[in-house]
Structures are given as structure tokens and as C-alpha cells.
Amino acid sequence: MAIIIDGKAVSAATREAIKNEVAELKEKGVTPGLAVIIVGDDPASRVYVNNKKKACAELGMLSEEYALPAETTNEELLGLINELNGRKDINGILCQLPLPRHLDEKAVINAIAPEKDVDAFHPVNVGGIMTGDYSFLPCTPAGVMQMLKHYDIQTAGKHCVVIGRSNIVGKPMAMLMLHANATVTICHSRTVNLAEECKRADILIAAVGKPKFVTPDMVKEGAVVIDVGMDRDENGKLCGDVDFDAVEPICGAISPVPGGVGPMTISMLMRNTLTAAKLQNNL
């Protein structure tokens, strides 16, 4: 019987620690502040933004939302970011992706001051992740590492396979596992003998965006399986990249969807915002 890695429980413990640190900062006259920009009316983005605002309120942080119309220009968006970069009461700036197609996503990411880039997407922060000298980590990979730590799952000397090579999850996830002394393989759509590569993993991390993509023939007996996916199955039910019911009997430990990595992502964003506030106030 596999250990079920409970992201809700790990997230709750993480938030409790953050809440206590925020209270200590407030006693020193500092309230961590997060500005969230949303352009257009993408329903999924709206849900994420609302959840971020709710988390800030729960932890005693300041949050400001900037809901911009879909026809916002690059100049207007970059002007707002520049204004927020200059505000001392805003420690973290987040621009909800994806942006409408006419906007320059790369320019937007580059415009956010690296010390306020709580998504850790700016090239300066990405470079820090490569070298192991970082202030912030991308929220989802950081959440995965926190879950492994909470459950005392050893990474040193283990073979980790990451399925997916996105800039947001796959690549930074591989780097964090490398920093944690795992031997890392990154698999993707052009990988030859994908199932065989995955079956060698002691720790298998699926971040491919395809419902129930990982099947039992891809998983080694006793492996730890972390499902980063957030998909819908043929019945429209929320599921992950792993066929949970089929794979769970083989695993040593597995994270479910929902209730696995998902709750961790916003908690780690809150952690990054707290870190930003401390660094900017030399605390």
C-alpha cells in the first residue's frame, strides 16, 4: 500500500510557519505586500488570482489586484510594472500567465525587478537556480521539494526522472533535484523508449500536461511518484498526469490530484513574498 503524499497537510503546516513569521515582521513595522496583475478574463486565471488574494488575507499579508482589460497595450502593462517596482510597500509582483496573445510575455517577465519576481521567472533568478545561488524558487518545483522533505523522502543518490521540460516546472524541477544530489534524467516528447526511461526512476515526477499519461508499465516497483499535472479526464473530472488508480498499487509513495502538488504552489508563492519582504528590509 503506497503512502499518499498529502499536499493539503504539508501546505497547512507551511502556511502556519509563514503566518508566524509574518506576525513577527509586522511587529517590526513590515507587512509583506504582493501585487497581482491579471489581463483579460481567462476563467482559470481568475480562480488562481482569487486563491492568491485569499492566501494573503489568511496569512496577514497585503495584497493588491490589478485587473486590466484584455486590450491593454504592452506600454500600459510595462508602465504599471515599472510603477510597482518603485513602491516600497509592494515586495512581490506577479503577472498572471498566460497573457493575451498581443502582449510580449518575455518583455513583461524581464520588466519585473528580480528582487520582486516572486514567480522566479526573471533570467537573473533563473540563472541563480542554475548555479544554486538563489533567493526565490519557482513555486511548483519548490512545493514538490517541500513535500519530499516533509515526508522524509531521500533524494541523495536516487535516480529522478522528470517528464516535461517547461521553463515553469520541468527544467527548474530537474535543477532542484540535482542540487539535492539526485541523478536526474529529463524526458520529453522526443525521448526514445520513454516508458523504459521512466521505469528506471526511484523518484518519477510527471509534468507533461496529459491526463493519465503515466501508466503502470512506466513505474518501477516501490518508486515515489509525484504528479504535477492538472487535467480533466474523459468525463470532465479533475485528474493528473498519472493514472492514479492503476499506478498507486505499485508505488512506495504517490501524490494525488487533486490534493497533492496543487495546494503547495500558492503556499510557496507566499513563502517567496515573505522572503522578498525580509530581503528588501534587510531583515
- The per-residue pLDDT for range 5-42, each reduced to its tens digit, is 999 999 999 999 999 999 999 999 999 999 999 999 88
Please check the confidence at residue 157 and state whether its pLDDT lies above 90: yes
Residue 42 has what pLDDT?
A: 87
Q: Which of 6, 8, 41, 96 is flagged as catalytic?
A: 96
Same fold, 29-114 and 139-262: yes
Active site residue 278: no
Q: What is the mean pLDDT of residues 114-139?
A: 96
Please check the confidence at residue 257 and state whether its pLDDT lies above 90: yes
What percent of the chain is modeled with pLDDT above 70? 100
pLDDT band at residue 1 using 50, 70 and 90 as cut-offs? confident
* pLDDT tens digits, 98-123: 999 999 999 999 999 999 999 999 99
| CATH architecture of the domain with range 139-262 | 3-Layer(aba) Sandwich (3.40)
Active site residue 52: yes
Residue ranges of domains in the chain: 29-114, 139-262
Residue 208 has what pLDDT?
A: 96
Q: What is the mean pLDDT of residues 68-73?
A: 97
Q: Which of 119, 227, 241, 243 is flagged as catalytic?
A: 119
* pLDDT tens digits, 192-202: 999 999 999 99
Enter the pTM of the model: 0.95
Q: Which of 52, 158, 212, 220 is flagged as catalytic?
A: 52
Q: Grid coordinates standing for 192?
A: 526514445
Choosing among 2.20.25.10, 3.40.50.460, 3.40.50.10860, 3.20.20.220, the CATH entry for 29-114 is: 3.40.50.10860
> Average pLDDT over the chain, rounded to whole?
96
